Structure 1
Amino acid sequence: MRKSLIIFFILIGGVSATFISITTTVSMERIVRDNETPVNLTIVNSGDEPAYDVLVSLITPKGLDSDELLPGRLNPDELYTGELKIKIDENVTPGTYTLGVITDYRDANGYPFSAISTFSLVIKKPTFSRVMARVPEITLGDKETKDLKLSIRNFDDKPHSIQVELLLPRELRSDREEKTLVIDKKSDGEVSFSISSFGALPGSNYVIFATINYEEEGSHYSSSSSGIVHVVEHKGFVPSWLPIAIVVILILIFIVYQFRK
């Protein structure tokens, strides 16, 4: 028996899993004053298997638009650099905006994945948002819908009408992308979104973002906060007493077996 156990544990220790980890870095002008600006992207696969059909695109607010990057295959530790162009309408309010970067790719089996990140774009003049969100870390079953409750805090001495938006990877979905809230001065608020899996892989962790936007006196203000959604395999209802009952039964079987020896 001891020999079998030793062999068993050695086999388990020799198993290793492959993974893909995509990191995207953005660099650009500190303050944009023209109607078009370049965005430089550096993309690295720090995993140990290639990523296929890599596609990078931006999530832009109204009045902004951009093209896409198609790096294609990205091998482990391979670095890719490219440039996107952001076009800005003339009537866009000056200030700070939060943009999303979504990277789509596939693994060797053709299974689709996506990763999301954010960066700030300053148009003509920088602004500082005094309204922030806190995104909780939650666990979500792959067949479950759950409320994601965002805590909102207004540090300003005046109330604001804000737009709260979720930026999600494609494997997650929400009942609404944006909600409007009026938050009083020096106060806290709460906004809930219903989120569910949309092909998310159990055992994976997905980074999500919440952005808050508002305008005041001809200026745009924006802030961004991140959270993590842990996706697990959905399991049916198991009574809390069942594991204890199984242990008790096993102990009784062991005792009976000892007396019969």
Structure 2
Amino acid sequence: MSRFYFSSFFVSQFLLFFLPVIGVTSFAEAEFIQLVTNSDVVVDAEKKSFKLKVRIENNGDESAKAVGLELPEIGETRAVAPTLAPGKSLEFETNVSFDAVGIEKAGLYTFPFRVLYRDANAFPFSAAHLSQVELPPLPSRVLSATLEGGPAGAGIEIQKSLDVAFLVKNTSEKKLLVDKASFFTSAEIVAHAGDGINFPIEIAPRGEIRVPVSLENVASIPGSSYGSAFVVSGLVGDKHFSESTSLRVVVIPETRYQRKLLIGGLVALLILVLLGRQFKSRERE
């Protein structure tokens, strides 16, 4: 028993010393860009259009270069400013017609956009945002969407590519007609949602469908974290709905991935050693 206690003590001290060492990463102090974005939508029902107002503030200590807005719903990118200095802010407005985004019925619509910018080394970055277009009367909340296999609010960790799925449940007593499901994130991550599903698709009251999502890391920096959203839209009766589930996509550095495997292997090996010694000590008794 004393041998087993000694082994346990030795291993515990080894882990306390070794595991933090594996995870230690030092970074030189560097300048950074931190853009804070706020948006507002003003609807003009008579002109069948809406105005997107965006305010961008640089809370970092490095200037952002080539600041722009990407509007994927209409396939356009707008230049906003050549430079946004630290501590400065800017405002931008753009008009979008209902026809350009397929707004026909009353209800709620999601209009996504990305803020684009570059750092001092001309490396491109982007940040995804959602704005909402409200055309009363609005429908009540009719569905929930959760990441399959993850708790509410769970994030997604990706290294190079990943396939996940969302469970979309009709929480109402009415039939829903889902005409679109999308995963919106930064441009550094390419996302496809709903492959293999023939939209529009009907969901019975309290029914559920599974929507696959594929992600590919094409230009992100390891360790980056991106605000993202899974968006589902369609019709409930004669009203349009659009509901989103927010989460973060975290890019795992390759060293971190290898570190996880190394730690897992070491812990498993040490447990086996402990169990083997415990078994031998019992045999000797």
Q: Which TM bucket (shorter chain)?
A: 0.7 to 0.9
1:208 aligned residue: 228
Distance 2:238 2:78 in 1: 30
Q: Which runs of 5+ in 1 are unaligned?
A: 1-11, 247-261
Q: For residue 65 of structure 1, report the CA deviation from its aligned partner.
A: 7.8
In structure 2, the residue matched to 1:255 is none
Is the Cα–Cα contact under 8 Å of residues 144 and 169 in structure 2 kept in the other structure? yes
Q: Please name the residue that 1:113 is paired with.
A: 125
| Residue 277 (structure 2) aligns with | none
Of 123-132 and 195-204, deviating more is 123-132
Q: Which residue of 2 aligns with 1:9?
A: none
Letter in 2 for 1:197: N
Q: Which residue of 1 aligns with 2:216?
A: 196
SS in structure 2 at match of 1:29: strand
Q: Which protein has the bigger helix share?
A: 2
Please state which structure has a larger fraction of its residues in strand.
1
Partners in 1 of 2:50 and 2:77 — Cα distance? 12
> Deviation per CA, 1:129-174, whole angstroms, max 9, x where unpaired?
4113235301111xx2212222322210123231211112110012
Give 1:10-29 correspondences, 5 Å limit. Answer: 15-29=28-42
Whether contact under 8 Å (1:21, 1:45) holds in the other structure is yes
Post-superposition Cα deviations, 1:192-217, rounded to whole Å, max 9, x if no partner, equal 21212011110110111111111133
- Which whole-Å CA distance do the structure 1 matches of 2:41 and 2:232 have between them? 22
Query: With structure 2 as the length reference, what TM-score do the two structures score?
Result: 0.70
Counterpart mapping for 1:55-74 below 5 A: 55-60=68-73, 68-74=78-84
TM-score by length of 1: 0.76
Q: How do residues 222-233 of structure 1 correspond to structure 2 at under 5 angstroms?
A: 222-233=242-253
Q: Distance in 2 between matches of 1:26 and 1:145?
A: 31
After superposition, what is the alpha-carbon deviation per residue over 1:173-202, rounded to whole angstroms, capped at 9, x for unaligned? 124477545433124443221212011110
Asked if 2 retains the 8 angstrom alpha-carbon contact of 1:66 and 1:85, the reply is: no
Q: SS at the partner of 1:53?
A: strand
Asked if the contact 1:45/1:78 (under 8 Å) is kept, the reply is: yes
CA RMSD of aligned residues (A): 3.0
Alignment of 1:148 with 2:160, yes or no, is no
Give unmatched runs, 5+ long, in structure 2.
1-24, 148-153, 271-285
Query: What is the one-letter code of the residue matched to 1:59?
Result: P
Partner of 1:83 in structure 2?
A: 93
Q: Assess if the C-alpha contact under 8 Å between 2:182 and 2:192 holds in 1.
A: no
> Is the alpha carbon distance of 1:101 and 1:82 closer, same or farther for their aligned partners in structure 2, counting shifts above 3 Å?
same
Name which of 104, 116, 135 aligns with 2:116.
Answer: 104
